[in-house]
Amino acid sequence: MQQVKAGDTVKVHYHGRLTDGSTFDSSSGREPLEFQVGSGQVIKGFDDGVSGMEVGEKKTIQIAVDDAYGQKEENMVVEFPKSNFPPELSPEIGMSLNMTNGSGQVIPVTIVEIKEDSVTLDANHPLAGQDLIFDIELVEIAAAPSRIIMP
């Protein structure tokens, strides 16, 4: 049987959960996730976890925080004046927003605290600082695409 290797495009069904057992994502009821192994399209631990699998194989992988979304970085948590929010917006804890930095780059943030004159925003990935567990089923392996190299 063919085994997954770097460069292969694969399709997997998955169920992702935290160490407390709560589900954070799943492909259940959707098309399988398709990605190229080793290309950086998924977190390192997920890439590593599918390597060597065969079509039809199922397994559970545990991904340490450093091979997932990394440690939570305190410098990505900032206080933002309420006066800078649009007047029609009523901030609530847990609300997801998009901010732009000075160069126009969009940064997703989550409201984590509301004070009288400011709102605390967290730009860390929501799964930063977490170890993750995935149940994976390999559905398909497509070989790496052929390329023509000019002399």
| Cβ(141)–Cβ(51) below 8 Å | no
- Using the predicted structure, report yes or no on whether residue 149 has a pLDDT greater than 70: no
Residues 28-56, mean pLDDT to the nearest whole number: 96
* Mean of pLDDT over the chain: 92
Domain range 74-122, its CATH number among 2.40.10.330, 3.40.1130.10, 3.40.50.2300, 3.40.718.10: 2.40.10.330
pLDDT at 146: 58
- The letter for the amino acid at 4 is V
pLDDT in tens, 107-141: 999 999 999 999 999 999 999 999 999 999 999 99
Say if residues 71 and 65 touch (Cβ distance below 8 Å).
yes
CA 122 to chain centre: 16
Catalogue the E-assigned strands of 4-145.
Answer: 9-18, 23-26, 33-36, 58-63, 77-81, 96-100, 106-114, 118-122, 132-142
How far is it, in rounded angstroms, from Cα 15 to Cα 23? 7
Q: Between 136 and 147, where is the model more confident?
A: 136
Q: Return the domain boundaries, the chain.
A: 9-70+127-142, 74-122
pLDDT of 151 above 80: no
Which fold is adopted by the domain 9-70+127-142? Chitinase A; domain 3 (3.10.50)
Q: Which residue has the higher pLDDT, 24 or 147?
A: 24
Tokens encoding 136: 């994976």
b or e along 77-93 (b: 16 or more beta carbons within 10 Å of the residue's beta carbon)? beebeeeeeeeeeebee
Task: Please name which of 14, 12, 20, 17 lies closest in space to residue 133, comparing C-alpha atoms.
Answer: 17
